[in-house]
Amino acid sequence: MKWNPLVQSPYVVTPGEGPFEHVIGGTHDCKGGWCPNCDHPITQILTLDLRDPVLASLSLPDSVLRLLFCHRCIFGSKPFFYALLQGDVRIERAKLKTPWEDFPYEDYPTSFAPLHARLEPLSAADQETITRLNGGEITWEDLPRELFHLDCAKHQIGGEPYLLQGREDLNCCACRRKMQFLAAAADGCSDPRGFTGNDFLQVLFFICIGCNVIGAVQRCD
């Protein structure tokens, strides 16, 4: 199947200072960004600074794009959709489950301290390797040791990230059209326990530019 990223070139979201204010984790106070199930702010996974020319194709009226996901309450394969409303959000569709106690782990925080990040281009050779891994043409056993890191989930904008469950589509909950891939989020953040405590888990964020809707799905290895 055809993989359809909005941002054509791949960028790894890498901790460190850069010219723009991309953030892994952090807090938000956007209206509508509250999980009605666990009664906490929906966890901010990534914040993208839309002044970065890398993100020009998003052409959103907002200054930042917040990628939100509640790991307490959204698990399994059902997508989570929310509309972008000029800095605020509105949950469009979410299948929420009552969280188990201490899920995803004990003393789960209501937010994660912000970790500043920059967008590092992924080389064409690395992108090709990831594409071949995703397509099943090669496995990690075909890789030299120094490329083993490509066979794992990372925070990535655009291109085709390493996909724990292969390529997939997501249709917009509003217009039903196929959404475009926007970003993949892995587990790493400012907390050594991670967003979920599971390195073999990722959230794929898709976008419908026509409707200004984000769709997110959680995938595990």
Give the helix ranges, DSSP H, for the chain.
Answer: 124-134
Specify the residue, 122 or 170, whose C-beta has the smaller distance to Zn ion.
170
- Tell me if 46 contacts Zn ion by CB under 5 A: no
Binding mask 120-159 for Zn ion (x = CB under 5 A): ----------------------------------------
User: How far apart (Å, rounded) are the C-alpha atoms in residues 125 and 76?
Assistant: 33
Give the range of 50-58, 63-71, 77-85, 123-131 binding Zn ion by CB under 5 A.
Answer: 63-71
8 Å CB contact between 150 and 162:
yes
In the list 37, 111, 190, 198, the residue contacting Zn ion (rule: CB under 5 A) is: 37
Residue keyed to tokens 């666990």: 38
Specify the residue, 19 or 210, whose C-beta has the smaller distance to Zn ion.
210
- Tell me if 110 contacts Zn ion by CB under 5 A: no
In the list 50, 70, 150, 214, the residue contacting Zn ion (rule: CB under 5 A) is: 70
- Tell me if 174 contacts Zn ion by CB under 5 A: yes
Task: Sort 197 into a burial class: Cβ within 10 Å, 0-12 / 13-18 / 19+.
Answer: middle
- For residue 66, what are the CA distances in angstroms to 46, 130, 150? 6, 26, 26
Paired tokens of 154? 């990372």
In the list 6, 24, 183, 211, the residue contacting Zn ion (rule: CB under 5 A) is: 211
Give the helix ranges, DSSP H, for 93-174.
Answer: 124-134
- Site of interaction with Zn ion (CB under 5 A): 35, 37-38, 70, 72-73, 172, 174-175, 208, 210-211
